[in-house]
C-alpha cells in the first residue's frame, strides 16, 4: 500500500525570505516587508552579483523586481484575507521529499 502525504501552507505562514550566497555561503534573511529596492543587488558579505547581474554596468540585468513583486503580492493577499470577508481559505501545496512511503500491510509482509 502506498500512502501519499500532501502538505499545505497558508500564505500567513510565510514570514520572510532567506537568501544564501552561492559564492561564500552568507545568509540574508529578510521579512517580507523589509525587502526594498537594492536589497538583493549583491551579496552583503563578498559582493558577488546576486540579482543585479553584470555588476551594475551598462549591460547589467536586474532581476530583483520579481522578488520585490513576490513580497508585495504576499503582503497584499494577506491583507485582503484579513480585511475582506472572502468565501474561501487559501493554501499552497509544498513539496515533501518523503512524499510516497511504502507501507507493508500484514498480507504483503507475509506474502
Residues that bind Zn ion (CB under 5 A): 21, 23-24, 26, 43, 45-46, 48
Q: How far is the CB of 60 from Zn ion (least distance, A)?
A: 18
Backbone angles phi, psi at 4, to 5 degrees: -105, 125
CB-wise, 9 or 24, nearer to Zn ion?
24
* Euclidean distance between CA atoms 22 and 105, whole angstroms: 44
In the bound state with Zn ion, the residue whose beta carbon lies nearer, of 11 and 49, is 49
The CB-of-38 to Zn ion minimum distance in angstroms stands at 16
Amino acid at each position: 500500500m502506498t500512502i501519499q502525504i500532501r502538505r499545505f501552507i497558508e500564505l500567513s505562514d510565510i514570514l520572510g525570505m532567506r537568501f544564501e550566497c552561492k559564492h561564500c555561503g552568507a545568509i540574508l534573511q529578510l521579512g517580507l516587508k523589509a525587502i526594498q529596492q537594492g536589497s538583493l543587488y549583491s551579496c552583503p558579505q563578498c559582493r558577488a552579483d546576486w540579482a543585479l547581474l553584470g555588476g551594475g554596468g551598462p549591460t547589467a540585468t536586474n532581476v530583483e523586481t520579481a522578488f520585490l513583486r513576490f513580497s508585495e503580492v504576499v503582503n497584499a493577499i494577506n491583507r485582503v484575507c484579513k480585511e475582506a470577508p472572502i468565501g474561501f481559505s487559501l493554501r499552497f501545496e509544498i513539496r515533501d521529499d518523503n512524499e510516497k512511503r511504502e507501507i507493508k500491510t500484514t498480507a504483503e509482509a507475509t506474502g
